[in-house]
Amino acid sequence: MMKAARFHEYGGADVIRVEPVPVPEPGAGEVLVRIAATSFNPSDTALRAGRLREVLPLSLPYIPGWDVAGTVVTGAGRWKAGDRVMGRSDAGGAAAEFAAVPATVLVEATGFPDLATAAAVPVAGLTAWQAVIEHGKVTAGQRVLINGAGGGVGGFAVQLAKLAGATVIATASPRSAATVADLGADEVVDYTRSTLPAGMDAVINLAPIGPEEAAVLATLVRPGGTGVSVAAPVQGFFSFSARNDPGQVAELDALAAKGELRVDVTETVPLDGLADLHRRSEAGLTRGKVLIAV
Ligand SMILES: NC(=O)c1ccc[n+]([C@@H]2O[C@H](COP(=O)([O-])OP(=O)(O)OC[C@H]3O[C@@H](n4cnc5c(N)ncnc54)[C@H](OP(=O)(O)O)[C@@H]3O)[C@@H](O)[C@H]2O)c1
């Protein structure tokens, strides 16, 4: 048996329980991973509340945790026992001591001396990569506005846009401003007080904004520029759900290994703290990446 956080029904944060469950039996092509950590993503609360059940129905009881960082116990494919791995498990399951994960979604975790930190990367890093590089097509010399830079995706987006050679204007409230500047933003604008700059080559929206803020963002892109939103519809912007791409996870890990990508880990909570973490996220009280150490 192992310890896992799971819920048996959709509902509020109270449905999350930490309980003994059988260690999963890896199926064909699956690796059994001893989890070092997973990380929290806001979609975890939507999954738990059942708000995504039309598009992503869960098999209940459900163990959350899409972000995987850990050590292989039973190998499959290219993996053998003892390998340090990271990746996105689209079936969840990483908020537990062990998870069975398809061998093909894992990559070697080399960039983080503390393996738990690698759990911050897959979901948020893939989203940032696809928003900034693939769909935003951010290139050297551009002026790019990153809205919602204080969040888990935002920390990666700021760094990736800087690595692409752009001038980055990032929005952050006072609680996140210093960190966002430290991650490389050239200018930080307080979205709670200031007018956002217009004439941007690209605007990347990572914040769950309402229609009024969305209408403002839509005016900030220069004619012929690019708008991308991962969190709310914005007129004229490209919206998408980040796909699982192990090659991109490996590229993010390689950047970390070279010291070119850092992770904004704001706190690490135990499995027993997961329900409280969901409550705090839903109250807007979390920022950056929160690890759930197992
Ligand atoms: N489409 C996809 O595939 C995909 C994938 C991952 C995430 N998402 C979505 O993307 C969003 C960001 O994810 P995340 O993990 O970065 O979330 P997060 O860590 O909770 O970050 C949200 C951040 O947004 C900022 N924010 C809140 N209201 C804002 C506003 N009105 N204007 C500007 N910034 C505001 C806050 O920054 P301050 O700290 O500066 O106040 C906060 O730190 C979430 O809505 C998530 O569900 C979508």
pLDDT mean values, one per 10 residues, the chain (294 residues): 98 98 97 98 98 96 98 96 98 98 98 96 98 98 98 98 98 98 98 96 97 97 98 96 98 98 97 98 97 96
Distance of CA 206 from the midpoint of ligand 1 (Å) = 5
Rounded to the nearest 10 degrees, the angle between the axes of helix 246-257 and helix 122-129 is 100
The pTM score is: 0.98
**Minimum-distance ligand 1 atom for the alpha carbon of 240:** 1
Amino acid 208: pLDDT: 95
Q: For 115, phi and psi rounded to 5 degrees? A: -55, -35
Q: Establish whether residue 171 lines the binding site of ligand 1, counting it when its CB lies within 6 angstroms of any ligand atom.
A: yes
Token pair in block for residue 139: 């290139």
Query: What's the pLDDT tens digit per position in 206-250?
Result: 999 999 999 999 999 999 999 999 999 999 999 999 999 999 999
Amino acid 76: pLDDT: 95
Which 3 state secondary structure label does DSSP give 60?
coil
Distances in Å between the alpha carbon of 280 and those of 15, 43, 76, 215, 275?
15, 14, 38, 28, 9
Q: Per-domain residue ranges for the chain?
A: 2-121+263-293, 124-239
Amino acid 119: pLDDT: 98
Domain 124-239 listed as CATH 3.40.50.1390 = no
Q: Establish whether residue 191 lines the binding site of ligand 1, counting it when its CB lies within 6 angstroms of any ligand atom.
A: yes
- What architecture (CATH level 2) is domain 2-121+263-293? Alpha-Beta Complex (3.90)
Q: For 273, phi and psi rounded to 5 degrees? A: -95, 5
Amino acid 258: pLDDT: 97
Amino acid 148: pLDDT: 98
Contact assessment for residue 255 and residue 226, using Cβ atoms and an 8 Å cutoff: no
Q: Establish whether residue 103 lines the binding site of ligand 1, counting it when its CB lies within 6 angstroms of any ligand atom.
A: no
Ranges assigned E (strand) in the chain: 2-6, 17-21, 30-39, 67-74, 84-88, 98-102, 106-108, 143-147, 167-171, 187-189, 200-205, 221-229, 238-239, 265-270, 289-293
**Minimum-distance ligand 1 atom for the alpha carbon of 124:** 6
Token pair in block for residue 281: 């996220």
